[in-house]
Amino acid sequence: MATSQATSSPAPIALITGGSRGIGRATALLLASRGSDVIVTYRTAAAEARDLVAQLEGTGRRAAALALDVAASSTFPAFVEQVRATLRGWGRDRVTALVNNAGSGAHAPFAETTEAQFQEMFDVHLKGPYFLTQALLPLLADGARIVNVSTGLSRYTYPGQSAYGIMKGGVDVMTRFLARELGPRHIAVNAIALGGIATDFGGGVMRDPGLQRAVAEQTALGRIGVAEDAAGAIAMLIAPESGWVTGQRIEVTGGYML
């Protein structure tokens, strides 16, 4: 009687923008620990990206770091070809998860916000993820997951954050439209809306002890967030058990300003 040999499924492959540090780095490490190969992007932090790749490869996973400025949409076709070449080198042709995480902060009162600042927020946080996701569609597997990183500032408000909050509000709406239009390919698209996270984002403002205390006092769970909190939420939405969740904005704030 012939016997069949069980073959293991190929490893998931996650592409994480802004993956060299902070939330992107924490997400890459967590997904790798759960069996994913990882491609991260970086804009200027090349050394940190190389260190992360070495750390990921040290766990036995495949990893790569590619340069990308999400504000420069004209570079997306060339970037897609780099991703394609990376996958080919791994004997694969599709990415199973895309995490649109890359971003930058800006603080200016509404009355003082310049067109240049507004344009930068638009390019980085809304136009960039929209057209990058579009460009990567041929490389996304059917049944893939997309997670867009948004902010609690699309629900509550802080003076000086209008341009940033407006763009992330657009990301929330974009998430619903992508979920609807990519549904026929069984691609689930969700957004996580983050509260205060102690990272280098926005010049590391959330590392200030006074601000941390103020935020913690208004947070149901009594502390500010860390990068691993965001990474856990992203991993949850990428996990097979979350396949029936799509088009959702999930707030990951520890219960801030409930």
How crowded is residue 19: how many other Cβ atoms within 10 Å of its Cβ? 33
In a domain, 167, yes or no: yes
Task: Report if residue 67 sits inside a domain.
Answer: yes
Residue 1 lies in a domain: no
Q: Residue 54 and residue 241: Cα distance in Å, rounded? A: 30
- Domain holding 33: CATH number? 3.40.50.720
Domain count across the chain: 1
- Domain of residue 179 covers 13-252
**pLDDT at position 204:** 66
Candidates 130, 156, 158, 164; catalytic one: 164
SS (H, E, C) 196-247: CECCCHHHHHHHCHHHHHHHHHCECCCCCECHHHHHHHHHHHHCHHHCCCCC
User: Quick check: is 164 catalytic?
Assistant: yes
175 token code pair: 């998430």
pTM for this prediction:
0.94
Domain membership of residue 8 (yes or no) is no
Answer whether residue 257 is part of any domain: no
- DSSP H/E element including 135: helix 128-136
Question: Has residue 225 been placed in a domain?
Answer: yes
Residue 3 lies in a domain: no
Beta carbons of 49 and 65 less than 8 angstroms apart? yes
Whether residue 45 lies inside any domain: the answer is yes
pLDDT (tens, 9 = 90+) of the chain, 258 residues, equals 333 344 578 999 999 999 999 999 999 999 999 999 999 999 999 999 999 999 999 999 999 999 999 999 999 999 999 999 999 999 999 999 999 999 998 889 999 999 999 999 999 999 999 999 999 999 999 999 999 999 999 999 989 999 999 999 999 999 999 999 999 999 999 999 999 887 777 666 777 888 889 899 999 999 999 999 999 999 999 999 999 999 999 999 999 999
